[in-house]
Amino acid sequence: MKRRKMMPIGPLMIEHRLIEKMIGMMSEELERMKREKTVRPSLIDTMVDFIRTYADRCHHGKEEDILFRELAKKDLKAEHAETMNDLIEEHKWGRTTTKRLVEASRAYEAGDREAVATVARCLEELAAFYPKHIEKEDKRFFKPVMDYFTQEERDAMLEEGFDFDRNLIHEKYRKMVEQTGELFG
């Protein structure tokens, strides 16, 4: 089956729209938490799974493992190199903040009612972070950096992105089985 030609950033920008929807729901949950002063750990787990698997491993993974890797081979303008480095640091910040969210949710689940404030703060930080991060990528980075690539290079990155997505579900569930197996010794 022949794939429709598109720039490799097209799928990344489509992924942004789904991430924005989840961030909207995180904001709604944050408002509920502020009113009710309770955490719903299973909902936090769902949000964390989305952030870790879809936003970070899938989306940021393609950026870092494909786009940024290929850009590192190019003679980038200083502003593009600086933006790419900023984006990498932002991805790391997102991972750290998500880890803090998990830890706070676990503390709440274990009975620490004070942890609701940390859960709320992490959700607030993530909900504020992602729209700015996405805007930077969509409006100031993705489109300009495509000029560094030939059409053949763009096509190769797009194909590698499709392969990346195909393998991701296997990676996720292989890891889940390994972790579950550790429980059984």
CATH number of the domain to which 16 belongs: 1.20.120.520
Q: Looking at the domain assignment, is residue 106 inside a domain?
A: yes
Q: Looking at the domain assignment, is residue 4 inside a domain?
A: no
Lowest mean pLDDT among 18-32, 112-126, 155-169: 155-169
Phi, psi of 47 (to 5 degrees): -65, -40
Whether the pLDDT of residue 86 is over 60: the answer is yes
Q: How many CA atoms lie within 13 A of 66 on its CB side?
A: 27
Q: Looking at the domain assignment, is residue 3 inside a domain?
A: no
Q: Looking at the domain assignment, is residue 101 inside a domain?
A: yes
Give the domain extent around 71.
Answer: 9-172
**Contact, 120 vs 34, CB < 8 A?**
yes
Q: Looking at the domain assignment, is residue 150 inside a domain?
A: yes
| Predicted pLDDT of residue 1 | 45
Q: Looking at the domain assignment, is residue 89 inside a domain?
A: yes
CA distances from 21 to 25, 45, 97, 127 (A): 7, 17, 19, 11
Q: Looking at the domain assignment, is residue 178 inside a domain?
A: no
pTM score: 0.88
Q: Looking at the domain assignment, is residue 66 inside a domain?
A: yes
pLDDT in tens, 39-82: 999 999 999 999 999 999 999 999 999 999 999 999 999 999 99
* Overall domain count for the chain: 1
| Predicted pLDDT of residue 48 | 97
